[in-house]
Amino acid sequence: MRVFVTGATGFVGSAVVRELIDAGHQVLGLARSDAGAKSLGTAGARERPFGLFGGVEQRWPAVHRLDAAHLYRLALEKGAAGARYHGIAEEGLPFRDIAEVIDRRLNMPVVAKSREEAANHFGWFAAFAGMDLPASSQRSRKLLGWEPNQPGLIADLENGRYFENQANRVSA
């Protein structure tokens, strides 16, 4: 079976990759550094180019982890029991913009694919990657007084801090 593993070079992910390869599966892993990509290759896995559905403009919501942590605290302290709150700082970033930053920062080619090609290439992840997911946190902001103030996803990715943090985790 062809399996895509996120976090493939991490503590748990590397064990999952080894188990799957030893069982005869073809593993495609997502690495966030050159060292991670090299370790995937050494383990017998492959790193996949980042794919986009041709002709579709998917949008994904995003929030910085520190803004999400602040919302969790506010929901605990001020939220109603059983209520649902959305932690979204950016309501609909074009998936293509996210993929292009990943391409620039990790040298992972962005490739347009038809829905059929994507399904064959990505397996189950194709349905997730192909979703248009604009969402809003207006209710969370109003009820809890939450205002995100950290950098947006594209700016954070362009800055490179995310990739540096992940590279440090891989090498640890």
Per the structure block, which two tokens stand in for 25?
Answer: 């599966």
What digits encode the pLDDT tens for the residues 106-158? Answer: 666 777 777 788 777 777 777 777 788 889 999 999 999 999 999 999 998 88
CATH number of 1-48: 3.40.50.720
Question: Which ranges in the chain are annotated with CATH 3.40.50.720?
Answer: 1-48, 50-171
Percent of the chain with pLDDT over 70: 83
Inform me whether the pLDDT recorded for 18 exceeds 80.
yes
DSSP string, 54-99: TT---EEEE--HHHHHHHHHHHHHHPPTT------SEEEEEHHHHH
Protein fold of 50-171: Rossmann fold (3.40.50)
Q: How far is CA 160 from the centre of its chain?
A: 15
pTM above the 0.85 mark?
no
